Amino acid sequence: MTDSATDEAEYRVVAEGVEKAFGDEKVLKGVSFKVVRGTATAIIGPSGSGKTTLLRTLNALDRADAGVIRVDDVELDFTKPISKPEIRKFQSRSGFVFQGHNLFPHKTVLQNVTEGPVVVQKRPKDEVVAEAVELLDQVGLAEKQDQYPYQLSGGQQQRVGIARALALKPKLVLFDEPTSALDPELVGEVLSVIKDLAVEGWTLVIVTHEIQFARQVSSQVLFTDQGIILEQGTPEQVIGDPKEERTRQFLDRILNPL
């Protein structure tokens, strides 16, 4: 658990008692955790344990059924009616990097990155374009700005997805298994960009199966299983010396597959 002595103002994310069901299946069962500003939190666990649903509740892509979530200065109490403007304000605090890129196929790389700030945030186009070019340079794709997604590798498309999320100037960046759809040789280039963001002090929450990456980049690791956070702490605690037998079993299967 994040240090309880940390002042509330230092938390970028506070989630308390978050619940979510799809039909009769309860996917999240009263999940609570906090994320300190400027740190990376990794969410690990078996498939079907609620990792992606938990991440999506932090952007209200999946609206929780119960609980309270605060991201930066916007808090939603999901036990009460919530208006569309409240949801939009909540969503504006975070950027989401999807597993499958989700780029606009008919728009260039630069247009993909500038779309949100110009259309949604109504910011001046000249300013947004200048910032987008800098972001593409940051993720190693400055020379690709006039190309279309189909002309890029999967790793390059994912890096465009990261630049697109950063272009919104979010307080929080959410990554949903950002390397799971990539060929193995392309994984490193995406993880390298995310590591750089962590070093720069962005607040990140990353759902990942890359355990060694989680160990290197995160300040906090959450291990989820069957809709609850079974174990949480530093990478050294959760990955290096897990207390729960279920955590040990999972890590052993991932780290020692043969």
Q: Could you state, in chain order, the average pLDDT of each consecutive group of 10 residues for the chain (258 residues)?
A: 56 97 96 97 95 96 97 95 94 92 93 94 94 95 96 95 95 94 88 94 96 94 97 97 96 86
Phi, psi of 183 (to 5 degrees): -65, 150
Q: Global pTM?
A: 0.93
Rounded to a whole number, what is the largest CA-CA distance in the chain?
55
Residues found in the chain: 258
| CA atoms of 94 and 229, how far apart (whole Å) | 22
Question: Residues 139, 163: contact at Cβ < 8 Å?
Answer: yes
The pLDDT value recorded for residue 3 is 46
Are β-strands 228-233 and 220-225 bridged in parallel, bridged antiparallel, or unpaired? antiparallel
The pLDDT value recorded for residue 1 is 38
| CA atoms of 233 and 239, how far apart (whole Å) | 9
Closest CA to 107 of 98, 119, 123, 95: 119
Q: Which helix (H) or strand (E) holds 117?
A: none
The pLDDT value recorded for residue 8 is 65
E strand map for the chain: 11-22, 25-36, 40-44, 66-71, 74-77, 94-97, 172-176, 204-207, 220-225, 228-233
Question: Residues 222, 43: contact at Cβ < 8 Å?
Answer: yes
Q: Helix axis angle, 125-138 relative to 154-167, nearest 10°?
A: 140
Which domains are delineated in the chain? 10-93+172-255 (3.40.50.300), 106-169 (no CATH)
